[in-house]
Chain A
Amino acid sequence: EAQVTQNPRYLITVTGKKLTVTCSQNMNHEYMSWYRQDPGLGLRQIYYSMNVEVTDKGDVPEGYKVSRKEKRNFPLILESPSPNQTSLYFCASSLEGTDTQYFGPGTRLTVL
């Protein structure tokens, strides 16, 4: 089944403790992206990647890192999480030359 998977789905952590949220897609998509969603602010793009080893900042990249060493994986790294990074995070992918993004199920992160 074609899908985008994210792990973990739920995470509660403490300020300053490094964490990684994984994202994987099995559709051989070139484009992958991370978003965060907060009440009243909608969906905002954090980082995106047009292909392996190519990443760019979105609207709200501060406090996040990403890497794209393989086509299928696009992990989101929070080196030193802070409470303002408490949010619902979505990973998405799409085929090069199209704009139909497929979204993962979301990761609800709470930073205490």
Chain B
Amino acid sequence: DAKTTQPTSMDCAEGRAANLPCNHSTISGNEYVYWYRQIHSQGPQYIIHGLKNNETNEMASLIITEDRKSSTLILPHATLRDTAVYYCIVRVAHTGNQFYFGTGTSLTVIP
């Protein structure tokens, strides 16, 4: 599975959009982009995933560039409860094999 690169940390003002970038320049054609987040020391929580097209759900939007070498997770109106570590993962879907979480981006939402 392809490796990802994320900034170590980011800040965002409460109520503004939080845009979290992820670089996955070695992604293969059959690999999906997944996002999870971990609040404090709780277990990680699934957010969203996509292959080529942009995706949106009740939690966030995922924008994947046309060449698929990078993506951005967007939290449209960040709240203090969105303060967490966000992990971008690239893997072949539904293979039941390894997950590589990496170290993620620590997002702090500032009042």
Interface of A toward B, CB cutoff 8 Å: 4, 30-31, 33, 35, 40-45, 48, 50, 56, 58-59, 88, 90, 92, 96-106, 108
A–B Cβ pairs within 8 angstroms, 6 of them: A48-B96, A50-B96, A90-B43, A96-B94, A103-B45, A106-B43
Q: By the criterion CB–CB under 8 Å, are A42 and B102 in contact?
A: yes
Going nearest first, the 6 A-B pairs with the smallest beta carbon separation are A103-B43, A42-B103, A43-B101, A50-B96, A100-B46, A97-B94
- Residues facing A in B68-111 (CB within 8 A) are 87, 91, 93-94, 96-104
Q: By the criterion CB–CB under 8 Å, are A96 and B96 in contact?
A: yes
Q: Say whether B42 faces chain A, with CB atoms less than 8 Å apart.
A: yes
**Residue of B94, B96, B98 most packed against chain A (CB within 10 A):** B96
- The closest CB in chain B to the CB of A31 belongs to B96
CA gap between A48 and B97 in the complex, in Å: 8
Cβ contact of B42, chosen from A44, A48, A56, A105, cutoff 8 A:
A105
CA gap between A88 and B104 in the complex, in Å: 17
By the criterion of a CB under 8 Å from any partner CB, how many residues of chain B are at the interface?
24
Output the least CB separation between A86 and chain B (Å): 14
Report A-chain residues with C-beta under 8 Å of the C-beta of B36: 101
Q: Say whether B30 faces chain A, with CB atoms less than 8 Å apart.
A: no
Please count the residue pairs between chain A and chain B whose beta carbons lie under 8 angstroms apart in the complex: 66
Q: By the criterion CB–CB under 8 Å, are B99 and A33 in contact?
A: yes
CA gap between A101 and B93 in the complex, in Å: 12
- The closest CB in chain B to the CB of A6 belongs to B43
CA gap between A100 and B32 in the complex, in Å: 12
Q: By the criterion CB–CB under 8 Å, are A35 and B91 in contact?
A: no
Q: By the criterion CB–CB under 8 Å, are B98 and A48 in contact?
A: yes
Contacts A99-B32, A103-B45 given: A41-B98 contact, CB under 8 Å? no
Q: By the criterion CB–CB under 8 Å, are B99 and A90 in contact?
A: no
Contacts A97-B94, A99-B94 given: A92-B43 contact, CB under 8 Å? yes
Q: By the criterion CB–CB under 8 Å, are A105 and B103 in contact?
A: no
> A41-B103, A101-B46, A101-B99 are known contacts; what are 18 more A-B pairs with Cβ within 8 Å?
A4-B43, A40-B103, A42-B102, A42-B103, A45-B99, A48-B97, A48-B98, A56-B97, A56-B98, A58-B98, A99-B32, A99-B34, A99-B93, A100-B46, A103-B42, A103-B44, A105-B42, A106-B43
